[in-house]
Amino acid sequence: MGEASDGERDAPVLPRRVRRADVVAREELNKVTDFTVVKTTLNQFCKRKARALPWDEVLADMNKGVLEAYLLANVHVLRLCKADLPIPPLNTTFFNQCLSLVMEMSGARGPKNDELLLSRDEYNSFRDPTAPRASRQFIHRGWVHNAADQMATMAQNAVSLNFYRRFHKFLKRKYGVDGRDAYSLLEHILANAYDGHDAVVLEWRAQIPRTATGAPKMTAHMLVPLTYHFLQAIEERNRISQGDPEFRQVKSFTVLPTKRGFECSHMKMCKLGLRALLQRTGIRVPPEGPKWNAVERTYWRRLFNIKKFETANRKFAGQIVTDGKAVSIVMRKPKRKPDIEQMRVFSASEFDVMWGLDPGRRDLFVATNQLGETVSCSTKEFYEETRYAKAKEKVKGWQDRSPRVLEAIRNMPTKKSASLETLGY
């Protein structure tokens, strides 16, 4: 037999890919079940032993960690955009790294990401060194990963869903076009193909990331540089016109989302989150993996009133979402077979009146029937009916009656800026 060639001898032996049994079981279950949610209070859902768990401590750490991780992510993308460096994918891994850098845990290994570490150093230069950091002891598994997953979704939605509207307003301000002209200009820029010779269209088409078919790529990290450019244009316009008393400043925004206000956000707790919560209490639990998977259902039912919310068809799915007061219990139910009656095409002769509903921007909706009758609801009416306006007036009244709070609000610098100096003020 001949000797093996160098290429054959040096070829690496890849390990056989092994799929976890619990992942396979979950995927099979997803094929035959749907999800639904039951909402109640955490107090009603918990048994006596569960009420003694450190909910407030863990949720406080998670909320503080998410708040700071969002700020670090904004500092990172602003620094990269300013230096004209590529933006990394804004996925779960990225936000997991951000959370690990702003939360404290002894012996934890930081991410091997030099650019993110430089951004961490810049963020720390803005931060009060005496302020304590959120602890991620035990909760780095389950809680932190779920939060990072949610942050990645929020970032993708915030950048991609607002991109068209921000681009449209940018073109209107920059080129002085409006109405149909602005719409046509943007459509030509974003179209899969363009055979015209308009210099403005060609200039902006060259800056839009595209797929192989020519369609715009709506992945968040690819749209961040243009979003940063739109924000810079707004700030420059506001700065130039600042002395004009008749000028109305253009609303700015943050390149990536940030945590809203001081209210407690809802956090997801899965089976790993439950294990971490028990470890925070000092309870010894089986190691993560097959041993914990074998007993996690027992722990759920021992600590929580799950039977109270289950029915013959609705079963607990092994995760909840809570802010420490309310809780959303995720349940599984069998998938319904499609209703043939609902799937058939209806004819106009089967109905006396048919309404067509058009969702809008200025109006919440406008509905018209074949008799010429029209019903609409403006955004203002919606805010009045839902009492948003009344709640806003009430909060404003509280602020107006507190001079210290009012002064702090008026002197508080905005985080909606393309400037690192402004963000770090």
Which residue among 335, 366, 392 closes a domain? 335
Is 38 found in the same domain as 99? no
Report how far Cα 319 is from the mean position of its chain's Cα atoms. Answer: 19
Is 41 found in the same domain as 108? no
Q: Is 145 exposed, middle or buried (0-12, 13-18, 19+ CB in 10 A)?
A: buried
Q: Give one word for 132, left, alpha or beta, with left for phi > 0 and alpha for psi -120 to 50.
A: beta
Is 240 found in the same domain as 161? yes
- Report the chain's mean pLDDT, rounded to a whole number: 88
Would you state the pLDDT for residue 230? Answer: 96
Is 40 found in the same domain as 78? no
DSSP collapsed to 3 states, the chain? CCCCCHHHHHCCCCCCCCCCHHHHHHHHHHHHEEEEEEEEEHHHHECHHHHCCCHHHHHHHHHHHHHHHHHHHHHHHHHHHHCCCCCCCCCHHHHHHHHHHHCECCCCCCCCCHHHHHHHHHHHHHCCCCCCCCECCCCCCCHHHHHHHHHHHHHHHHHHHHHHHHHHHHHHHHHCCCHHHHHHHHHHHHCCCCCCCCHHHHHHHCCCCECCCCCECCCHHHHHHHHHHHHHHHHHHHHHCCCCCCCCCCCCCCCCCCCCCCCCCCEEECHHHHHHHHHHHCCCCCCCCHHHHHHHHHHHHHHECCCCCCCCCCEEEEEEEECCCEEEEEEEEECCCCCHHHHCCCCHHHCCCCEEEEECCCEEEEEEECCCCEEEEEHHHHHHHCCHHHHHHHHHHHHHCCHHHHHHHHHCCCCCCCCHHHHCC
149-188 per-position pLDDT tens digit: 999 999 999 999 999 999 999 999 999 998 899 999 999 9
Would you state the pLDDT for residue 141? Answer: 87
In a domain, 26, yes or no: no
Structure tokens at 367: 């509905």
Would you state the pLDDT for residue 111? Answer: 67
Is 256 found in the same domain as 182? yes
In this predicted structure, the answer to whether residue 363 has a pLDDT above a threshold of 70 is yes
In this predicted structure, the answer to whether residue 255 has a pLDDT above a threshold of 50 is yes
In a domain, 78, yes or no: yes
70-116 per-position pLDDT tens digit: 999 999 999 999 999 999 999 999 999 999 999 986 555 666 778 99
Which residue among 269, 296, 323 closes a domain? 269
Give the number of other Cβ atoms within 10 Å of residue 173's Cβ: 15
In a domain, 87, yes or no: yes
In a domain, 151, yes or no: yes
In this predicted structure, the answer to whether residue 1 has a pLDDT above a threshold of 50 is no
In a domain, 74, yes or no: yes
In a domain, 345, yes or no: no
Is 80 found in the same domain as 42? no
Give the number of other Cβ atoms within 10 Å of residue 61's Cβ: 22
Is 151 found in the same domain as 212? yes
Per the structure, the count of domains in the chain is: 2
Report how far Cα 273 is from the mean position of its chain's Cα atoms. Answer: 20
Is 40 found in the same domain as 163? no
Is 67 found in the same domain as 171? yes
Is 118 found in the same domain as 137? yes
3-45 per-position pLDDT tens digit: 555 555 555 666 677 777 777 877 887 787 888 999 999 999 9
Determine phi and psi for 209, rounding to 5 degrees: -65, 135
Would you state the pLDDT for residue 3? Answer: 53
Average pLDDT over residues 216-237: 95
Average pLDDT over residues 217-242: 93
In this predicted structure, the answer to whether residue 229 has a pLDDT above a threshold of 70 is yes
* Euclidean distance between CA atoms 46 and 61, whole angstroms: 21
For 241-269, letters b (16+ CB in 10 Å) and e give eeeeeeeeeeeebbbbbbbeeeebbebbb
Is 199 found in the same domain as 107? yes
In a domain, 416, yes or no: no
Average pLDDT over residues 228-254: 88
Structural domain that includes position 100 = 51-269
Is 230 found in the same domain as 116? yes
- CA distances to 191, 204, 225, 236, 337 from 173, in Å: 21, 15, 19, 12, 52
Would you state the pLDDT for residue 31? Answer: 82
In a domain, 56, yes or no: yes
* Euclidean distance between CA atoms 211 and 222, whole angstroms: 12
Query: How sure is the predictor about 425, in pLDDT bands with cuts at 50, 70 and 90?
Result: low
Would you state the pLDDT for residue 14? Answer: 64
- Spell out the residues 6+ positions from residue 233 whose beta carbon is closer than 8 angstroms to its own: 170, 173, 174
Which residue among 269, 285, 305 closes a domain? 269
Longest dimension (CA), the chain: 93
